[in-house]
Amino acid sequence: MNDDLYKPFLMRIESARDEAPDVRTFRLKFADEGARAEFFGRYRVGQFGLYGVPGEGESTFCVASPPTRADYIECTFRKVGRVTQALQDLEVGQALTFRGPYGNHFPIDSWKGRDLLFIAGGIALPPMRSVIWNILDRRAEFGKVAVVYGARSVADLVYKQELAEWAARPDMTLVTTVDPGGQTPDWKGKVGFVPAVLKELSPAAKNCVAVLCGPPIMIKLTLPVLAGRGFAPQDIYTTLENRMKCGVGKCGRCNVGSVYVCKDGPVFTLDELSRLPAGDM
Amino acid sequence: MKTIAIDRLPDLAQALSKAGYRVVAPVDEGGVVRLREWTKGLALALDAVPVNSVKDVLFPRSEVVARFALEESGGFTPAPLERSAPKTVVLCARPCDAAALSALDAVFNWDYRDGSYNARRAATTVVSLACFKADEHCFCTSVNGAPDGTAGADALLRPADGGKKLVFEALSDKGRQLEAMVSDGQAVPDAPAALKRRFDSAAVGRWLASNFESPFWKEAALACLGCGACAYACPVCHCFDLQDESDKKECRRLRNWDSCGFGLFTLHASGHNPRPDQSARWRQRVTHKFSIYPQKFKTFACTGCGRCARLCQAGMAIAETCERIEALGR
């Protein structure tokens, strides 16, 4: 492995699209075949990277596309600070820096034959979208697939085209919901908070893995619903985010207790999380 | 036996310099003893623990880790990066500084290997000077160290004949390469500084592992100003920030020292901060050094050098915190 840890890949923006207010998706191509092959030789679903604009810095977020689509990577991110602002100012054809893939991954090979339930809130769909497409691209290896996705309002739902595609697929179930007051006159999905919608669905825990990602309040209120349905803590997965700079277990800021989110995570089971100090998150 | 008169140390520094080494040694800079590049004519200051540590030699305070040429159109091209790793001898390092090296080696090499750190580490020979005195802030004996400890050192200079001479003991191949520059002689080694153990670090680690939510932290951190001086002076603290610095033509991506004592250290873009107050940050500092690090790397991230306490303007002392923790655990 290269010991020049901060040398980035050069990526070119092949296409871009707006997902929701301040939320944008880039499709990025590697500058050469060697870099592409190096990345996809290592990339497993759930890993993250650092996206940068020279002069502004780097910002950490997930790779939102699966390893089964190995021509490009996609990322979806909200404009919240200096670097994400600079990234969103870039135009198609321009370049950015990328380091990764870093961290652990979702152990999807160990999920073969099992049912999968994905529960996401708001901007937390992107880290799960890579897993969902990875599963759908290898559809025959898994049992039933269900996705429950909620956002504050219809405008805040990301990947609207893909949501329509998933809704139309006979081999999966998609339930979308918006918070009360967030619906539009022609909204066909549910109105209500994710935990309540999930409770109504009463998913079966038997042979099922749940993958959960969203704002802390959604996680907090969804976990009791899953527990009530009999989901075991080792069958509930999530992915954490913390402020990061290096991505490689050195800069010292992403730890939660003794765990480094950048190396021991970002993917954890609820069982693993329950052993970490909640006061450090 | 290899010996050198203590007042001939500049001659040894000069010989090393002639042999092509950059010599880094403690030098008195207007009342402040600092480890810095030695040049001919400078005396070595051996009475005080330098304000900075050997860490500075291996892990510079600020380092360019990537470089980009900026184009007027808004584009950029990666520019080559020169790696600087001059052949260096640290002469009269403190045993507590040398002991810190295994902790630094561990973090810079777990899984991902940091090439620039490793290049400097490989090019550096550490010659420790056994301490002939300790001050009220020293506590190496509480963290598995000793005033004449050899951990991490390539050679040890041991005071002898009542402080008039130093005995040179090579401890590694790098150290043996310097042997020829020291004459044969005879001397009777002096007893190293006596330093009573102040706390049981293993017991501190045990308490920390299960008292994350203790009310102790609120009170223990009250005095902390969050200035970060402790982390900058620490021979083991290695947390860093990455920042871009650019003019119209070039961007330099810099790795700069940082501190878990700063409020911005863990602040999320969303505004959420997992460590929102100084008590959470002080808890992180102590827990990282005495519980997290030993769990991960089998070594404490503290060598008892006492620099943090010597510098702290608010009178915070990690050894005192550890003494109180040990008492809480009893």
Q: What is the mean pLDDT of residues A72-84?
A: 96
Q: Please give the share of chain B, as a percent, with pLDDT higher than 70.
A: 100
Q: A280 vs B251: CB contact, 8 Å cut-off?
A: no
Q: Cβ neighbours of residue A181 under 8 Å, at least 6 residues apart?
A: A153
Q: Is the pLDDT score of B306 beyond 80?
A: yes
A202 burial level (CB within 10 Å; 0-12, 13-18, 19+): exposed
Query: In this predicted model, what pLDDT tens digit does every residue of B167-222 receive, in sequence order?
Result: 999 999 999 999 999 999 999 999 999 999 999 999 999 999 999 999 999 999 99
Question: Which one of A23, A243, A256 would you mutate to disrupt binding with B, by most B Cβ within 10 Å of its Cβ?
Answer: A243
- Nearest-Cα residue of chain A relative to residue B210: A277
Residue B319 has pLDDT above 90, yes or no: yes
- To the nearest whole percent, how much of chain A has pLDDT over 70? 100
Chain B residue with Cα closest to A252: B239
> Each residue of A168-180: pLDDT tens digit?
999 999 999 999 9
Q: Is B202 on the interface with A (CB under 8 A)?
A: no
B117 phi/psi in degrees, rounded to 5:
-65, -50
Going by C-alpha positions, the residue among B208, B236, B224 that lies closest to residue B108 is B236
| Nearest by CB: B242 against A241, A245, A258 | A245
Do B274 and A251 lie within an 8 Å CB cutoff? Answer: no
Angle at A240 between CA A236 and CA A244, to 5 degrees: 160
Q: Do B251 and A54 touch (CB under 8 A)?
A: yes
Q: Within 13 Å, how many C-alpha atoms sit on residue A105's CB side?
A: 21
SS3 label, residue B89: strand
**How far is residue B244's CA from residue B266's CA, in Å, rounded to a whole number?**
18
Among A10, A56, A252, the residue with its CB nearest the CB of B239 is A252
Cα angle value B98/B258/B34 (rounded, 5°): 45
Could you give all domains of chain A from N- to C-terminal order, each with its CATH number? 9-102 (2.40.30.10), 108-239 (3.40.50.80)
Of B115, B240, B258, the CB nearest to A4: B115
Confidence of residue A216 (pLDDT cuts 50, 70, 90): confident
Count of residues making up chain A = 281
pLDDT tens, position by position, B36-91: 999 999 999 999 999 999 999 999 999 999 999 999 888 999 999 988 899 999 99
Q: How many residues does chain B have?
A: 330
Q: Which of B59, B213, B232, B244 to mutate to test the interface with A (most CBs of A within 10 A)?
A: B244
Q: Provide the pLDDT confidence category of residue A281 given band limits of 50, 70 and 90.
A: confident
Any A CB within 8 A of B112 CB: yes
C-beta of residue A97 within 8 angstroms of C-beta of residue A54: yes
Per the listing, tokens 């697939």 go with A145
Per-residue pLDDT at A11: 97
Read off the pLDDT of residues A34-53 as tens digits, 9 standing for 90 and up: 999 999 999 999 999 999 99
Tell me: the pLDDT tens digits for B246-274? 999 999 999 999 999 999 999 998 899 99
Supply the pTM of this predicted model.
0.94
- Identify all chain B residues contacting A57, using CB atoms and an 8 Å cutoff: 242-244, 253
Q: Do A253 and B269 touch (CB under 8 A)?
A: no
Question: What confidence tier does A278 reach under pLDDT thresholds 50, 70, 90?
Answer: confident
Q: What is the pLDDT of residue A38?
A: 97
Nearest to B67 by CA among B218, B249, B278: B249
Given a cut of 50, whether residue A1 has pLDDT beyond it is: no
Contacts of B271 (CB under 8 A, 6+ apart): none
Q: What is the mean pLDDT of chain B?
A: 96
**What gap in Å lies between CA B63 and CA B76, rounded to an integer?**
20
Chains A–B, number of C-beta pairs less than 8 Å apart = 125
> Using CA atoms, how far apart are residues B214 and B169, in angstroms rounded to an integer?
46
Q: Across all residues in chain A, what is the average pLDDT?
A: 96
Asked if B247 is an interface residue toward chain A (Cβ–Cβ < 8 A), one would say no
For residues B91 and B147, give the distance between their C-alpha atoms in angstroms, rounded to a whole number.
16
Q: Residue A2: pLDDT above 80?
A: no
In the stretch 114-143 of chain B, residues with CB closer than 8 A to chain A read 114-116, 118
Say whether B81 and A8 touch across the interface (CB within 8 A): no
Q: Residues B104-121: what's their mean pLDDT?
A: 96
* Residue B32 CB neighbour total at 10 angstroms: 12
Q: B253 CB near a chain A CB, below 8 Å?
A: yes
Strands (E) in B11-86, as ranges, are: 22-29, 32-37, 62-70, 76-79
